[in-house]
Structure 1
């Protein structure tokens, strides 16, 4: 689906605590439940979530931002722990009372860590196309190895293309394809390698049971990056969870945007109905 950029909230650069800067997109309805959506590797906030924004806008206050080393995200220290801190910085900056946190792939890992860091600051989680970690057995090593080998394809738009688009077209005049090229080319291959290494060292199986927030799991049933059983393991370890399957692969938000948005709607609704 080609995005109608005029219907999406414009991005604005904000300065958070400790000198961290990022680009935030916020639909701004203060009377609605705030939902912060965290993107996956190789994407930016709006590139990952624009199709969800277009379908769910008006139902919740939707917020997304560029995480470190992605798009207009901060270029300081990059670890999943610092990304989790940034989530709380954004919530503080926007003065959000216990937002729901939705994370896709890498964003799901960051969501888990943010909830572990300070669960009192969040209302609940929606974890999509993500899991408990990797590198724990041969099957996961094979899956992660495949992701490592295919990583260059995730950054198929050369940085030079993004630079040309940036120079020749103002933000307001960007056509959807040029905008997508620019967003995609903003993430370097070095970032991909770093994220993959972080995923390889992540394992939340020893502490997920401590999270008592309501957690909805949007399970991608044909996922090779986070196989079904890894996602099932995650939901089984969570004491207050529900599973909402999408019969698609790891890129479900792009390949099955309608079905994915419907599952996100149901999952967010379940979390909101179970807010503490």
Structure 2
């Protein structure tokens, strides 16, 4: 069950935490136009008991409320969540936009983190592909709507009448203005000049049919990082929804690599 936490005087969020203090903490950051659980519920279901899994709604997504919206501010929130939960060297997993935020959090203070798992993301994005994916999620309902197990939806919120209703509500909680803002922010992002500075293990889940972050952008990210490993997944940008089982297995493998290669 999620709970509302305060990150700063003007920023609150809905946070989910499996809570096992003896397990390696993993903070999972969602992508654009999504929420924490909409992107990561399948991973929670499959990996619970192996890691302490944490996710939350980033600003202007779901129940992430208040404060200015830019990726630097979102990266500060990552460290605030780690402080709030008193996490020791958490691994940060980032999906799409969340991968960009994870890169920036690692640049801000790599000594605080145990490593990164970056999925369906890169050094920047193809704006046309990004718009196609984001608008498609609005007009077609997105594959996520058919991928939420009913029992998971009920665990997330006891009052939800069904998985489809829950997923629709999560998607609808992200205003259209946020979609436009995120696309503009992602289009401006470029980490090629500083990725080589990140001295921590980074596992990349490479989505092989991604039109928002094409393979060459993901390859560029892997080549620039000094300590990286690539785990290919034959799927598009919405892999967490269209191939949830395979995606969760890749996350498990990627996390295992990061944990075994921590300094």
Whether the TM-score (by the shorter chain) exceeds 0.5 is: yes
Instruction: Tell me the residue number matched to 1:179.
Output: 166
Instruction: Tell me the residue number matched to 1:90.
Output: 81
Instruction: Tell me the residue number matched to 1:115.
Output: 106
Indicate the SS of the match to 1:22.
strand
Select the residue among 190, 210, 229 that pairs with 2:216: 229
Give the Å deviation of 1:254. 0.4
Select the residue among 43, 54, 60 that pairs with 1:52: 43
1:245 aligns with 2:236: no
Give the Å deviation of 1:249. 0.3
Alpha-carbon contact 1:235-1:243 (below 8 Å) kept: yes
Deviations 1:121-170 (A, max 9, x none): 11100000000013xxxxx4xxx224324533323489xxxxxxxxxxxx
Distance 2:177 2:242 in 1: 25
Distance 2:128 2:53 in 1: 34
Q: Over alpha carbons, which structure has the higher Rg?
A: 1
**Cα distance change on mapping 1:245 and 1:150 into 2, 3 Å:** closer
Question: TM-score under structure 1 normalisation?
Answer: 0.87
**Cα distance change on mapping 1:52 and 1:207 into 2, 3 Å:** same
The structure 1 segments of at least 4 consecutive aligned residues displaced by more than 4 Å after TM superposition are none
Distance 1:73 1:102 in 2: 18
1:25 aligns with 2:16: yes
Alpha-carbon contact 2:10-2:67 (below 8 Å) kept: no
Instruction: Tell me the residue number matched to 1:201.
Output: 188
Give the Å deviation of 1:17. 3.1
Indicate the SS of the match to 1:172.
coil
**Cα distance change on mapping 1:242 and 1:74 into 2, 3 Å:** same
The count of residues paired between Structure 1 and Structure 2 equals 249
**Cα distance change on mapping 1:249 and 1:21 into 2, 3 Å:** same
Indicate the SS of the match to 2:105.
helix
1:124 aligns with 2:111: no
Instruction: Tell me the residue number matched to 1:147.
Output: 130
- Gaps of at least 5 residues in structure 2 are 142-156
- Gaps of at least 5 residues in structure 1 are 1-9, 135-139, 159-170
**Cα distance change on mapping 1:150 and 1:53 into 2, 3 Å:** closer
**Cα distance change on mapping 1:216 and 1:149 into 2, 3 Å:** closer
Distance 2:29 2:222 in 1: 19
Distance 1:64 1:109 in 2: 16
Deviations 1:239-273 (A, max 9, x none): 00000010000000000111111110000010011
Indicate the SS of the match to 1:111.
helix
Instruction: Tell me the residue number matched to 2:204.
Output: 217
Root mean square deviation of aligned Cα: 1.7
